[in-house]
A and B are shown apart, each in its own frame.
Chain A
């Protein structure tokens, strides 16, 4: 029989990676000196499963390496060794290393063992042992070609059957080792009245002529050596007949059950020919190359409940469709029109439900991202010599998988910054009268159609004064600016800030924040910061739940319909011409309460010809992005609806000022306005500069 083990590889890799995640998470939970046995058991079990699986499936490099960590964990588990921080550190490194080994194996590459070997040496020096992985390999290889005869006496204790062992099968195994002569003794079988079928009263003497050595015989009785008296002796090559009762040859393959034979007359069972052991198969060496899976899995696991609800919805949809179909065959009367409208309403309802549920399939708990932070925070805290507690809130909040993958890096950046620059050292905290252990909190929750992720620290907060003076010396703002603290804090997201390496020492928040912001914006999201001196800072990331669907406001510009993301819209109003003033060459600004809102003419930007003569009583949609408000001049407001976003880049090419396209109900294509792109396109400067000026507008060529 040959079994292709490669069919189990995918499952093995999947559960091994899960096991490593578990190990990492539990290791991070361990507090040396206060460790909880169940936590250690969980870690041990994960390591143990990886070792068992990798050994079985032929990944010996992983099995050998896991062996040392398992040994260490076992010693800790058994209380033979106290857990120290250095052990946790080593084990965490081992987890990383195993991830690498397994990823390479999964990609069917030869893993690089340099790190594994060096870590194994560290483990061995902790354990004080040499590697014993070579020990048990060549045992069976020194078989002697010449054969010997052994006399084997096998006297099971009466309770043998209660161990689940069966002497008959052992006799069968002995037969497979060579020529066997068997004698059975029934002298201990009691009278029929005292006989218990639960017990074994027989015992045996065998003469086995075999080319195998004694260990092979011992192996047959390995499970019962404590439940029987066994002697194995080498006798000089011939059978010596002793006080055996009778010998008969029986070539039948059907060996009667020993339990039945004990009541009958002495029986000796000596089948002459026994099939040789079936062909050995190479353990997992037959690596099947057909499934060349990439390490990054492109599939997602979906709960059965989600699939079930989808199936239900599709069922509903089919019923509605049948109903509409039936109506279409009827004569049109006012009554059928009413039914038709009802049917359509139901169809709309079903479609929306279906859409929501399909989206849910791509939704995963944000814990997939959060779970990497305990490790990250621990490592950075150790490096910075700070004490940090990480709190995770809202780990079950669900988010689209594609958004999740892209938000991870910006979050890492923000968390790292919070630890590095936000939190003070233990001494500083004590001096400030704070808890020596700083806290970083990650909080995720839903708000409307968005997910909000907060990264909070209870550190020193942003140093507004220093940011301000730096921004002035950089020329980002002028010395006599009148920006609020919040507005100044926002400056850390400006590109000019991060490129100056001195800034990070001053403000502490400079490095790469513009990149963070850009990445988040590319997800149609936003990030902002609030901070209080000595109390801490909070970064708030707002993201759409999915990148595939957007809540949009349809607007009419000339003869065309554009879509403005609802999330950016602050308000829509009719322009009061008295409040409009012209700044510079051709920029109009509207005074709205205490603010001046630059007016962007969409028809101008998108090159539609019928320009609106007067601004009076025309509609302005005030939108906000990056804390900057602008007004978009439109002809009319149409409906609000969810639109399915189609990529322009994928289907056409990138167009400035437009983030994507969608297909409207009437089949026309409509463009989705990209607010920050639009501001860039119009040449408006960011806030902070004293004047807003419009540089010569860049004409949009392709559309």
Chain B
């Protein structure tokens, strides 16, 4: 079973993402901010990480940048969940090493379509 780390400071979004991915057959671990996610990611490997951008303590872009420096996360798909429709965040995210992004609002269908772009 493919493992996904879902990171969001909003409990409802986190639950929704996690539930959707679990229903689709993924093994999902949740984290509530970047720093918690980084700590978890250092302890176990994930096939993909999907993270919100705006979070307290450590934001999603910093998380992606940190993850990319880890040997185990060199090629791992790292997706950002963002409502920023502007280019700026995407560029910033890409520069940090993000694989792609999911623009909020999205429904479970769209989320799975996006996940399918990076793992199967």
Contact = CB atoms under 8 A, between A and B. Distances in A.
The reply to whether chain A is a binding partner of chain B is yes
B72 interface: no
B99 A281 contact: no
Contacts of B68: 162
A11 interface: yes
A63 B103 CA distance: 14
A280 B109 contact: yes
A14 B15 CA distance: 13
B10 A15 contact: yes
A201 to B, nearest CB: 15
A277 interface: yes
B45 to A, nearest CB: 14
Given A42-B56, A52-B105, A163-B97, A1 B112 contact: yes
B105 A56 contact: yes
A56 B118 contact: no
Contacts, number: 122
B10 A55 contact: no
Interface stretch (A165-173, A410-418, A488-496, A504-512): A165-173
Interface string A596-628: 000000000000000000000000000000000
B118 A165 contact: yes
Contacts of B99: 163-165, 223
Interface stretch (A43-51, A150-158, A292-300): A43-51
Interface residues of B, number: 44
Contact of B109 (A45, A53, A169, A278): A278
B43 interface: no
Contacts of B20: 3
A284 interface: yes
Contacts of B120: 169, 172
Nearest to A52: B104
A637 to B, nearest CB: 55
B107 to A, nearest CB: 4
B100 A223 contact: yes
A1 B24 contact: yes
Given A3-B20, A45-B54, A169-B120, A52 B75 contact: no
B15 A45 contact: no
A127 to B, nearest CB: 14
A78 to B, nearest CB: 9
B34 interface: no
A11 B108 CA distance: 17
B56 A55 contact: no
B44 interface: no
Interface residues of A, number: 45
B29 to A, nearest CB: 18
A165 B77 contact: yes
Contact of A223 (B19, B101, B109): B101
B76 to A, nearest CB: 6
Interface in B1-49: 9-13, 15-16, 19-20, 23-24, 48
Contacts of A163: 94, 97-99
A56 B54 contact: no
Interface string A67-79: 0001000000000
B83 A222 contact: no
Contact of A15 (B12, B77, B101): B12
Nearest to B12: A12
B13 A56 contact: yes
B90 to A, nearest CB: 9
A161 B83 contact: no
B58 interface: no
A162 B74 contact: yes
B83 A284 contact: no
A284 B13 contact: no
Nearest to A13: B12
B83 A48 contact: yes
A1 B16 CA distance: 14
A214 interface: no
A652 interface: no
A51 B11 CA distance: 14
Interface string B54-87: 1110000000000010000011111001010100
19 contacts: A1-B109, A3-B20, A49-B13, A51-B83, A52-B10, A52-B13, A52-B81, A55-B83, A57-B16, A70-B83, A136-B85, A161-B75, A162-B68, A165-B99, A169-B118, A198-B74, A223-B101, A281-B107, A281-B108
Q: Which 3 A-B pairs have the closest CB atoms?
A: A55-B105, A164-B99, A223-B100
